[in-house]
DNA sequence: CCACCAAGTGAGTGATTACTCACATTCATT
DNA sequence: AATGAATGTGAGTAATCACTCACTTGGTGG
């Protein structure tokens, strides 16, 4: 399953798994980097500004991260894992035993959950999406680790739904793509409008419409 | 309608409208810039590389564009206009007269048309999406010109569909968001996989599934 | 109390950046 | 052919870049 992760990836995952051994200054750097990267993009950010905003000397950054890119990856790679973490949890496999009242109920719950996650981590998501096209390591992780795991775990649940005739008969990746893109569109527009004064944006209704849209589109 | 465009925008639109008065070298710069920006991102690109790839001296770039950012905007601002141009065409308003057999037929046609456009202009789209969060001028144009025009033009057609009970009763922007995000998801994944050797991607089927998904989701 | 090492510093490094400018070339108009 | 403007050039500039390194600080184990 772990199909020989590359060393840098092992380290990153391990670093995250093994709790926060971070110095206070290091975590200040970490947070500041998230801020600046999200604000100006990776290429548009300078290590000097990150240091400044973290309240540390520029050299301190390189004490903890060999390069600027390593700092980026240490932020973004774990995010991809966290993004799919609910699907890897045991509870998720229990869908087989627990017979949900409706597909709706189950799907709604998980969609709401992921929307919540995305909104609480808007900066991380922004950085991830921005850098995905430019960082081959990230694309590799997505393709070799994230996609397969998603396909395997979620695939089983979707297969069950399909076999019960409660969901449209399409390939699992296609179904996921359609659902995910609707959610991403919702999140994207929401962040475009930000939280504004004269906002003509009824969030509850928009979210409901999005979920309904997905459900109706994926109905058999 | 034109609600007082800012000068730079006027110029850009005018420059495009008034045909190609470009020098050969200028258009070489223009094309090279599209290449490099799409490849490395705006901040990650250097004017020296653009000049090199265009086969001109670096100074030539600044003869035609005051700054690097102006070069970017000259590429990307017209793209936004072209993106919605079909909806501004006269034919589009004729939907009222011409009674389409089905909403399906009409929507399918226009969705296919825009997918085609996006695929033929992948680089431009990539640059646009990448820079939208960082260029206030672009966001302003989107908000003040693109969105309103879309809402007005497309709104009428959608209103007609809704009144005929052939489409779900949701706000126009919501309907557009749902349709557009599904299309963007399709385009994004397609470009992620690129055109590869062992591609497990049946394009025709994916496209069909996407369109069906939109139609079903927007059905009344 | 010493010795040791990781954590932290900030001045310094060469490379690269967007942009300028004095000058050369080409073009259009008379 | 002459002239003025538009186009093109590339060496030059100050600023900024990611990163290094000799050094200081602070905490921990013996």
CB < 8 Å from A in window 15-34 of B = none
Best interface-test mutation with A: which of B151, B185, B220 has the largest number of A CBs within 10 A?
B185
What's the pLDDT at B9? Answer: 54
The predicted structure's pLDDT at residue A104? 80
- Extract the tokens encoding A174: 């296609």
Residue of B nearest to A180 (CA): B185
> What phi and psi, each to the nearest 5 degrees, are found at residue B153?
-65, -60
Gap between the Cα atoms of B139 and B145, Å rounded: 10
Residues B112-137 pLDDT 10s: 999 999 999 999 999 999 999 999 99
Give pTM, 2 decimals.
Answer: 0.90
Q: Do residues A77 and A9 touch, judged by C-beta distance below 8 A?
A: yes
The residues of chain A scoring below 50 in pLDDT are 1-5, 8, 12-18
pLDDT of A133 reads: 97
Chain D footprint bases within 7 A of protein beta carbons: 7-12, 16-22
pLDDT tier for residue B3 given thresholds of 50, 70 and 90: very low
DSSP 8-class letter at B166: -
State the nearest Cα–Cα gap between B15 and chain A, in angstroms.
28
pLDDT value for A69: 98
Distance CA B25, CA B40 (A): 22
Residue A14: what pLDDT? 47
Residues of B in contact with A44 (CB under 8 A): 43, 134
pLDDT at position A100:
62
Distance of C1' in C29 from CA in B22, Å: 21
CB contact under 8 A, B41 and A40: no
Model pLDDT, residue B167: 94
Strand D neighbours among A 24-63, CB < 7 A:
45-49, 58-59, 62
Q: How many angstroms separate the CA atoms of B191 and A23, rounded?
A: 40
What's the mean pLDDT in B11-34? 76
List b or e across B153-187, with b for residues whose CB sees 16 or more CB atoms inside 10 angstroms: bbbebbeebbeeeebbebbbbbbbbbbbbbbbbbb
> What is the structure's pLDDT at B88?
85
What's the maximum distance between 2 C-alpha atoms anywhere in chain A?
Answer: 61
Query: How high is the pLDDT of residue B105?
Result: 83
pLDDT of B7: 52
DSSP for B81-122 reads HHHHHHHHSHHHHGGGTS--S-HHHHHHHHHHHHHHHHHHTH
For the CA of A194 and the C1' of C29, the distance in angstroms is 56
In whole angstroms, what is the distance from residue B25 CA to residue B60 CA? 8
pLDDT for the residue A172: 94
- Helices B172-193 and B103-120 pack at an angle, to 10 degrees, of 40
User: Residue holding tokens 């995305």?
Assistant: A118
Give the span between the Cα atoms of B8 and B29, in whole angstroms.
Answer: 20
How far from B189 is each of A116, B39, B115, B124, B193, CA to CA, in Å? Answer: 23, 17, 13, 16, 6
| B26 CB closer than 7 A to any strand D atom | yes
Give percent of chain B above pLDDT 70: 84
Contact (CB<8Å) A181/B188 = yes
Q: What does the alpha-carbon distance between residue B42 and residue B24 come to, in Å, rounded to a whole number? A: 23
For an interface test with A, the pick among B182, B184, B198, B207 (most A C-beta atoms closer than 10 Å) comes out as B182
**pLDDT digits over B61-103, tens only?**
999 999 999 999 999 999 999 999 988 887 776 666 666 667 7
């Amino acid at each position: 399953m772990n199909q020989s992760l590359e060393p840098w990836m092992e380290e990153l995952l391990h670093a995250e798994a093994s709790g926060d051994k971070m110095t206070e200054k290091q975590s200040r750097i970490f947070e500041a980097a998230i801020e600046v990267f999200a604000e100006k993009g990776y290429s548009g950010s300078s290590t000097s500004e990150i240091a400044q905003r973290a309240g540390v000397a520029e050299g301190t950054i390189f004490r903890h991260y060999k390069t600027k890119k390593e700092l980026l990856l240490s932020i973004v790679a774990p995010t991809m894992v966290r993004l799919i973490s609910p699907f890897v949890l045991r509870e998720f496999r229990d869908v087989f035993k627990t017979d949900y009242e409706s597909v709706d109920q189950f799907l709604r719950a998980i969609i709401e959950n992921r929307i919540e996650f995305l909104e609480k981590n808007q900066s991380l998501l922004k950085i991830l999406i921005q850098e995905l096209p430019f960082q081959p390591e990230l694309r590799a992780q997505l393709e070799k680790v994230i996609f397969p795991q998603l396909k395997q775990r979620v695939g089983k649940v979707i297969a069950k739904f399909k076999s019960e005739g409660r969901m449209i008969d399409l390939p699992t990746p296609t179904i996921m793509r359609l659902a995910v893109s609707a959610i991403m569109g919702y999140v994207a527009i929401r962040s475009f409008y930000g939280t504004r004064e004269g906002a003509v944006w009824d969030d509850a209704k928009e979210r409901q419409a999005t979920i309904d849209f997905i459900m109706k589109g994926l109905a058999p």
